[in-house]
Structure formats: structure tokens, C-alpha cells
Structure 1
Amino acid sequence: MKNKTFWIFALLTISIISITYGVTKFITPKEKTTETALECHETPNTSEAASFKPTIENKNKPAGKAPKGMVWIPGGEFSMGSNVEDESLCSLSGVTKDAAPIHRVYVDGYYMDETEVTNEEYEKFVKATGYVTVAEQKPTKEEFPTAAEEDLITGSVIFTPTPSAVNLNNFLQWWSYVPQTDWRHPLGPESSIKGKENYPVVHITYEDAAAYAKWAGKRLPTEAEWEFAARGGKTGEIYAWGNTLKPNGKFQANIYQGHFPIKDGDTGEDGFKGIAPVKQYAPNAYGLYDVSGNVWEWTNDWYSVDYYKSLSESGKVAKNPQGPNSYNDPNDPTQIKRVHRGGSFLCTDQYCTRYMVGTRGKGEVRSAANHLGFRCVKSI
């Protein structure tokens, strides 16, 4: 395989990283220790705190039990978005404006999967239908016209730690396109999901997630439904569990601690180095697990950088918003993207703190990676 092949595919799957960064700071382990005392903090800089108004939950509940593995989300009216000013807790400015301004939204009640869809659940779908994920399909010349025929091979993108500290302004340094990588082989062709049935399925594109949801008699959540559920009926809190990153000194989600993205840099202070099985942390107030960290989750909305602005300027409560009519990312205008939510095990206080409940991610619809999965909802 030619080296240029990996570069071509890395470029074509850039948007699976979810966020475009403007960070240019160089951090070495020694410098990070000093900066932690001077710059890093557990409470992010925020603005417009008064923009959050109380959540008003619907009172009606459906008759009967919730479908297996799902919980009832009552819906109602709430303040959606984020007033976080920085991309990280180390005062590194970033691209958070797409989650502002805070605006009022109403959603009807619905059921939601209590966890991200697991390997075991996705395997049942594949066995029942014979479905082949995008990562398992050979790329075509129509998709990648500049690639040589011999370079069009199956595969996906994997987080690949760097041997030493690097400039954080080029995320291609820690992502690699690896042939024959897919949901069954999440860390390359020699890896397996055996014994990991209860882990979130990864290397899932938007269409892979939508296909599963349709088979299961469900659908992917709108971005508004996802955030309402993740907030758990609370108003304007920074995290799904409150306003403190580590209440009583304990992490509440699977995120990255240590020196990012250095090899063996993740200290695993939260209990895990890398991806974790589902249900390892306390659920939120609605009984949902891992709505922060572990793996990013697809929503059904097109990504548009100014969508919140348009909703806010209407002056009305947006009722069951379905997202914008088209995608719009000025930083990457040719890529078709939908919204990711929740952050992943790679989110870190040094670089990406989008495990904060009101923040957003984005991904090209046919791109996948080992930190990207999904969960479903069901209307009544």
C-alpha cells in the first residue's frame, strides 16, 4: 500500500473527528504540569448565564412498560445550546459558537435507548439482514476519483497516539486510515469484538446507524431530542450530571485524562483507557447512560454552523425542530455532514471538552472511526 493512499483517505475522512480546531499551542508533558496550575480549571468560562430558562416537562406518560432497553423521555420545553466560551478547560479558545445562542425548544415525549447500541445488538441486526457497513464496502472511483484502483480498499479510521508531544493544530497526526478495519475489527484487521459484546459498536456511519434503527422499529434522535434527554430535565447545567466535572473527586464519564495524544498518555483515572463497556457510570436523571464521553453519537440533523442563530432570531419556541434543510460548514463546505453529540473517550481538557451537554460535533455522513457510534429513539 502506497503511503499516499493513507494520506488520501485521511484527508477524505477528516470530518469524522467532528470538530475543526484552531489550536496552535505546543504542549509537552513538563509544560502541561506547569500550565495545569496556571491555566486549567474544572469550571469552564461561560457567558449569558441568564439565557437559560427553566425546563418545563410534559406531565403525560404512556400506558404500559417501556420497550426493552429503552426509557421514557417526557419531552417539554427547555433552553437548548451552550454558553461555554472555550474549547477546553485549559483556556484554549475553540469553535464553540455553533452551539450558541441559547434558544427555546419544545419536543414531544419519546422513548430512548438507555445505552449506546452495543456490539451484541448490532450483530443481531447484521445476522438478521445481512447488512454490510460502509467501512466493509470497497470505495468506488465515483467517491474518490483521484485514488488509484489498487488503493480503493475497505477500512476505517483509528486513533493512533503520537510517540511524543505534538502541535495540536493538526489532528491528522493522531488519526490513521487502517485497511480492513470495521465494527467487527475496531482496532485493525487482527482485532476482534469477542468478549466485548457489551461495548458500544463503533466504525458506524450515518447510514449504518439509520439502517439499524429502521430494522429495530426505531429512528435516530433529532439533535433537540438528544439534548433534551441528555439534560435529564435540568436547566442549563454544564454536564449531564451537574456543574462540577468530578463531584466528590470522581469522574462521571469515560473521557481522556493525561497528555493528549501521546502514546500511553491516557492515565485512565476515570477507570478506563480507551473505550469502555456501557453502564460503567451512573445514569442521568432520565436513566440514560454515557450521554457524555465513551463514543460520539449520530443524530438525524444536518449540521449547519448557523442553525441555532436562525432559530433564536425567529423569536419563537421551536417545536419539534428537525434540523436545517441543508448542511453548512464553511470550514469544510464540500463535505455532507450531520450532527454528532456527546463527545467520546478521546475528549480531553487540553483539547476538546465537548462532553459538555450543550455542545455539538459534526461528521461527514459516510465517515466512521473507532470513537463513533449511536443510540435510537422511538415515537409513541
Structure 2
Amino acid sequence: MDGLFRSDAFRQVILTAGTMWPRTINTESDVTPTRDGAPMTRIAGGIFHMGADDQYPEEAPVHIRRVETFWIDLTPVTNALFARFVAQTGHVTLAERTPDPAAYPDADPALLVPGSLVFVQPSAATDLLDGLAWWRYLPGASWRCPQGPGSSIAGLDDHPVVHVALADALAYAAWAGKDLPTEAEWEYAARGGLDRAEFAWGNELMPGARHMANTWQGRFPFENLSDDGYVGTSPVTAFPCNGYGVFDMIGNVWEWTKDSYRATHAEPPPARCCSAKTDRSSDLEHMVVKGGSHLCAPNHCRRYRPAARQSQSIDTSSTHIGFRCVTRDPQLQ
């Protein structure tokens, strides 16, 4: 990742991104590589309209939020960065551990083995309310083997790491001296200064017929036209950055936040007293994930927007969930 930060191509993207957007963005002087080698950019605090009233009900109501100044990773954490973390710490992800049978008393014993959720494309149209039609718990699937045994991340160093549960993201953030973003910080950064715009780049999904993010083209889940050039994940700088010079806030992979999920913005945050005490528990907390993924399509999960949000149990890992980090270190302000 250090090489990515230093590369002429990457620096040029950062410095010229402002020509694409209606406001001045952070320049290279506001971009810094940090302890884990991931470049971060400074997001000046401010007020914005959070949520949406004309999309999914959980995004309502639109309300005013203030965030303080923070720094955010320019991209999701990549396979290369996560591999460095694992090499230095010996971390074993939740997907690589054997589940505790006591935490899952109703589970099929055959599934109580290390593994993770993998998207398997059906051959024909299916009920869009039946996620089991395309999700499989695949033994042996992990960040190292994203499609299960026999697969690898060879050649995917610059793709986002996947198959990371909340505990894995938090462990990485702690190692890097960072944190996960709050939902408000994440959405504020994703908007890139375009307050109340539908997308991170404006109000048109494909301005000038240009794909702006890695999402699903075709009829989900059985027809993937891959008009954007990718089936599955893509390099974290494959698509244009937003107005703050931040990449991949939309599409590619969902990203963990540190906020507990609530059904709408109007509901009070849930009490933390019932949060899981261990990595796997029968009393699972659900957190907010943001940004949508390469599996989001116009006919299903139209959540490739800054306001979009989804609930995710803390023990879940899959082929379409990753994360990025923030820091609120005043020494960097």
C-alpha cells in the first residue's frame, strides 16, 4: 500500500479529482500514510443532512447531523494490508475459527466448522426475498480463500479484504491505532460535500454513461452482465474518488461501522447492556454496515447510495463485507 500511495498514478488521481466535482477537495498536503501504511485524508467537520425520506424506510427521517474533524482511509482495507496485520499479530479471523456449539444450539452440526458466507449465482430467476437462494455457508471460506478451498487472493492485493466479522475489523483498527467510523462519519465522508445528493457523485447513477462504482448490472441474482468490468470485487481505486478524494465508498463491499443498528434514524440507539460478551453469542448485536456492494442491483438492494444502511450481525462475514478505518487523533488535525 505504501507503493500505492507513492505511485505517480495514485497521486495524480488525488490531485486532479477536484476537476470532477463542484467543490474543492483535499489536496495531497491533506493526505498522509499512517502506521498501517494506508493513506488517510482529513475530513473537516461540519453539518449535513443525514438519511433519506424517499428510499428504504430504515434511512428515514432526514435529519441534521454534525461531525467533528476526522481522518479516514482513502480506500477500504486491502488484502495486502490485512495480510501484513495477520503476519505481525497472528490474528485468526472469526471465519477461520471453529464455532462454539453452545452459541448455536439449533445449528446443523455439519456447519459448525470454520467457514463463511459465499455468494453462489443461481442459474435462473428466484424469489428475491429468499437470500438462501444465493448465499451458502461454505466451510473453508475465509479472507485467504474468498471462494472457499482451492481459491486464493493471489493477484488481489489491491482488492478489499472480505470475510471479516466485526471483531476482525476492530482488531485491525486497534493494531493500526485507529477506529471504525461512526455511521454519521461514514455517510458524511461518502457524500464528498454533495449534501442531499442521491449518490456520492451527484443525482445521476451513471453520469455520461460512466460507471462510478462496482455494482451489479443485469437481473440479480442470476444475470450478471458485468458492464462495469468486474464480477465480484474490484481494485479499491478502480472507480473515481468522490469530492473528498475518497475511493470506493459506494459499491464493491459493504463496510462495517461502530454503530449499533436501529430500524430508523428516529429510534433511540439500543441499550448496550445486551451486547455480545464474546466473539460468538446467542445474544447477537447487530451493527450498521454502509455503502452497498458489487451485489447491489436496480432490481434488488438499491443501496449503492450514501444514505443507505443495513443491519449486520456481529458474527457475520461474507464475500461482500469489508471495512475501512478512521482516526480522530488531534495531533493530525
TM-score bracket, normalised by the shorter chain, equals 0.7 to 0.9
Aligned ranges for residues 262-341 of structure 1 at < 5 Å? Answer: 262=222, 265-306=223-264, 308-310=265-267, 324-326=270-272, 335-341=284-290
C-alpha contact (below 8 Å) 1:221/1:376 kept by paired residues: yes
Deviation at 1:64, TM superposition (A): 7.7
> Which residue matches 1:103?
63
Deviation at 1:310, TM superposition (A): 4.1
How many Å separate the matches in 1 of 2:166 and 2:111? Answer: 24
Asked if 1:235 is matched to 2:195, the reply is yes
AA matched with 1:340:
V
> Which residue matches 1:79?
49
> Which residue matches 2:8?
none
> Which residue matches 2:33?
67
How many Å separate the matches in 2 of 1:207 and 1:147? Answer: 21
Normalised by the length of structure 2, the TM-score is 0.83
Normalised by the length of structure 1, the TM-score is 0.73
User: Radius of gyration: which is bigger?
Assistant: 1
Asked if 1:142 is matched to 2:99, the reply is no
> Which residue matches 1:178?
138
AA matched with 2:49:
S
How many Å separate the matches in 2 of 1:176 and 1:65? Answer: 40
Deviation at 1:84, TM superposition (A): 2.6
Q: Percent identity?
A: 41
Deviation at 1:358, TM superposition (A): 0.7
Asked if 1:197 is matched to 2:157, the reply is yes
Match of 2:77 among 96, 99, 117: 117
Q: 1:310 to 1:167 in 2, by over 3 A?
A: closer
C-alpha contact (below 8 Å) 1:327/1:337 kept by paired residues: no
Structure 2: gaps spanning 5 or more residues: 1-22, 275-281
SS, match of residue 78 in structure 1? strand
Deviation at 1:76, TM superposition (A): 0.7
Q: 1:137 to 1:101 in 2, by over 3 A?
A: same
SS, match of residue 266 in structure 2? helix
C-alpha contact (below 8 Å) 2:285/2:314 kept by paired residues: yes
How many Å separate the matches in 2 of 1:194 and 1:65? Answer: 28
Give the superposed CA RMSD: 2.1
> Which residue matches 1:133?
93
Q: 1:149 to 1:270 in 2, by over 3 A?
A: closer
How many Å separate the matches in 1 of 2:54 and 2:236? Answer: 27
Q: 1:284 to 1:208 in 2, by over 3 A?
A: same
SS, match of residue 142 in structure 1? helix
How many Å separate the matches in 2 of 1:304 and 1:352? Answer: 18
Deviation at 1:260, TM superposition (A): 1.1
AA matched with 2:328:
S
Q: 1:134 to 1:167 in 2, by over 3 A?
A: same
C-alpha contact (below 8 Å) 1:183/1:203 kept by paired residues: yes
SS, match of residue 32 in structure 2? coil
How many Å separate the matches in 2 of 1:379 and 1:285? Answer: 20
Deviation at 1:235, TM superposition (A): 1.4
AA matched with 1:272:
Y
How many Å separate the matches in 1 of 2:184 and 2:30? Answer: 25
Structure 1: gaps spanning 5 or more residues: 1-56, 86-95, 312-322
Match of 1:371 among 317, 320, 325: 320
AA matched with 1:371:
H
> Which residue matches 2:221?
261
AA matched with 2:254:
W
C-alpha contact (below 8 Å) 2:48/2:65 kept by paired residues: yes
Deviation at 1:146, TM superposition (A): 3.0
Q: Deviations over 1:24-51 (max 9, x none)?
A: xxxxxxxxxxxxxxxxxxxxxxxxxxxx
How many Å separate the matches in 1 of 2:318 and 2:30? Answer: 38
How many Å separate the matches in 1 of 2:260 and 2:74? Answer: 24
Match of 2:205 among 227, 241, 245: 245
Q: Deviations over 1:283-316 (max 9, x none)?
A: 001111011100000000000113x1147xxxxx
SS, match of residue 193 in structure 1? coil
SS, match of residue 120 in structure 1? helix
How many Å separate the matches in 1 of 2:272 and 2:192? Answer: 29
Deviation at 1:251, TM superposition (A): 1.1
How many Å separate the matches in 1 of 2:178 and 2:317? Answer: 21
SS, match of residue 84 in structure 2? helix
SS, match of residue 82 in structure 2? helix
